[in-house]
Structure 1
Amino acid sequence: MSESINSLKKLSILIVEDDEISRDLLVEGLKPYCNSIYGAKNGLDGLEKFNKYKIDIIITDIHMPNMNGFEMMKEISNIKPHQKFIVLTSYDSDLNLMKSIEQGAILFLKKPIDIKELRSMLITLTYEKDEKLTKISDSISINIKKEKIYKDGEEIYLTYLQNKIFWLFAYNLNQLVSYDMIEEFVYENEYASKGAIQNVILRLRRELGIQIKNIPELGYILAAKKME
């Protein structure tokens, strides 16, 4: 059991719940076991926290003011299609469950929440052993689900800004990443000139030797290396 509990220590968890008491109970209940825990009072706050911190798993309610859970999950999935969600629900509505699945929910937990049951769900998600690597260039490979970058087989690390923009491209491999997406996720909705964005991308190109294609006036595309 202790080995299973220890598997949670690498996790960064975001809890999105508009009921302050429920949110605090979940945060305090998981805090001793996880690497980091963040709380958000609604979907909009959750989206902002997701943009600011590296989040492994999001635990979210559905019915919230300002931005509900469905809307938040959709926004986050547009940025990071592989994001893991656990949905908290007070209802057994098939419609709610189907909507949650469409937005990327992996597991569901009915209220009132049992911390031991939630902890078991999180442990289950840590057992995923996906070591599949995607080649970006002759020397660069990535493990998207574990968010690791390898150069000639050795793990490498980037600066904070380079890392955020690189993983935004990696989450959306072979797809257009717009300037709006970069501004929202990398710069947390603070204005960033196209020149500033271009400078970060130029440094990534030089340091990693990867091709990030500019689509004039629209954004950029990072393409996976084609297998021969």
Structure 2
Amino acid sequence: MSFPGVRRCHAHRRAPLHAGHRRRTFGGRAGLVLAFALALALGVGGTAAYSALYGSIPTAEAQDRVVVRGGVVRLGTHVYLHANGSHGAIGITRVALVKKCHLRVYLDRQPGDRVVAAVAEEDEAMARLGVQAGISGGIDVVDVRLYRAGRRVCANDRIFGGRSNLWISVTTLARTPRKPATPAPAQPTVPAAPAPPTSSVEPAAAPG
């Protein structure tokens, strides 16, 4: 419908972009190929470039960067790191209870560490009680929450008695290869003092 004295306005359609001016995106397979080519152009090796793209490092290249921390935590009314002549601990600085209930384990993280695996394993005493452990974190700290039939159980609950152990193991990937241990300087060997010369003395002849 048109009205006298009113000009009709037409919507202006945007002209399609010329092929040379179309927006370019670098996603999907093309982006991966470009990143791989860039890594090679910068002098990065094939396996390193693969790691940069997919995040997984070949086993042979990672062995000198793998760090394992762990130990045994004794549960019950007194929660503590259980380290003695038969139970060792590596990289655990302290254990604590958050809100007087769930377990938190502090680790001696190094800058650039990335967590590979974190495990909280119940011993036979906890398995007999039907308690399961769930772990999260793995860099500065790990948090462990305990459940029994779907209900939360505190780490300091009396049901654990005095001999329930929780095994903690955290594997991380260091940013740079570990430095080999510096060997102790060798002690200089002191040559043994020469034995004093022995002189044979002939007995004096008896007077004739």
- Shorter-chain-normalised TM-score: which range? under 0.3
Higher RCO structure (Cα 8 Å, ≥6 apart): 2
Q: TM-score, normalised by structure 1?
A: 0.20
Report which of the two structures shows the higher radius of gyration computed on alpha carbons: 2
Q: Which has the higher strand share?
A: 2
Q: TM-score, normalised by structure 2?
A: 0.21
